[in-house]
Amino acid sequence: DAGVTQSPTHLIKTRGQHVTLRCSPISGHKSVSWYQQVLGQGPQFIFQYYEKEERGRGNFPDRFSARQFPNYSSELNVNALLLGDSALYLCASSGGGQGSLETQYFGPGTRLLVL
Amino acid sequence: AQSVTQLGSHVSVSEGALVLLRCNYSSSVPPYLFWYVQYPNQGLQLLLKYTTGATLVKGINGFEAEFKKSETSFHLTKPSAHMSDAAEYFCAVSDWGLGTRDTGRRALTFGSGTRLQVQP
């Protein structure tokens, strides 16, 4: 079975630009979460979506937004990029049914470099 | 707010020696606890988890962890280290849901990680 997939794997942008990151969850999973991992730190929660609705949001500015599609894939958008947005962006999927949302399985991540 | 503290950002052991990675948490609700491993330039792989029931949980690659409520700890151990265990290890605790229709757990709060080095 395919795991969580993310695209692109690497991305280089300049300050002020916009970026879209994509994630496909494990087949049958209905929830997608996004995390930011700055070099040398643990991942930090950005968003969680379940059944196409936002169910949680971390402490990130409004420049960060996300959505989930009918096929449960998801996009993370970041506007007006700053140097500090350089990080590994991780997508995690969970939830084949109620009560099974607690275990999150992570994709390989998208490494974003902002110059 | 929940938090996770991992004592020791770097741990070095000899091959064949005991591995002990420490994790303490704070949570206002009964916690669900996780250990993840991250190899260089990769995502996170689930090692093991505690949700309810038996407090000693076994995971992949010979790792295990024990939930101790009185000590608010969830330390990760492995009896004998292997060179392939060298990686970054993250402890995480999950938060309650915000919605009313679904009581599933939500965001993971991670510790800052412990880098395990295994010496030959």
Number of residues that this document lists for chain B: 120
SS3 A109: coil
* pLDDT score, position A1: 62
**pLDDT tens-digit series, residues A36-65:** 999 989 999 998 898 888 888 889 999 999
Q: How far is CA B53 from the centre of its chain?
A: 17
CB < 8 Å from A in window 87-116 of B: 90, 92, 94-95, 97-99, 102-113
Beta strand B10-14 with B114-119: parallel, antiparallel or unpaired? parallel
DSSP for A55-104? EEE-S--TTEEEEE-TTS-EEEEE-S--GGG-EEEEEEEE-SSTT-TT--
CB contact under 8 A, A103 and B102: no
CB contact under 8 A, B98 and A56: yes
Question: Does pLDDT of B112 surpass 80?
Answer: yes
Residues of A in contact with B114 (CB under 8 A): none
Kindly identify which residue of chain A lies nearest to residue B42, measuring between CA atoms. Answer: A108
CB B107 within 8 A of CB A33: yes
* pLDDT score, position B100: 41
Instruction: Give me chain B's average pLDDT, please.
Output: 89
Confidence tier at B28 by pLDDT (50, 70, 90): confident
Q: pLDDT exceeding 70 applies to what percent of chain B?
A: 91
Residues of B in contact with A108 (CB under 8 A): 42-43
* pLDDT score, position B53: 84
The tokens 């999150």 sit on which residue? A104
* pLDDT score, position B98: 46
Residues of chain A with pLDDT under 70: 1, 96-101
CB A31 within 8 A of CB A50: yes
Highest mean pLDDT out of A37-51, B6-20, B29-43, B51-65: B6-20
Region B92-120 average pLDDT: 76
* pLDDT score, position B96: 63
Region B88-96 average pLDDT: 88
Least Cα separation, residue A16 to chain B (angstroms): 26
Question: Does pLDDT of B88 surpass 90?
Answer: yes
DSSP for B63-98? -EEEEETTTTEEEEEESS--GGG-EEEEEEEEPPPS
**pLDDT tens-digit series, residues B52-77:** 888 899 999 999 999 999 999 999 99
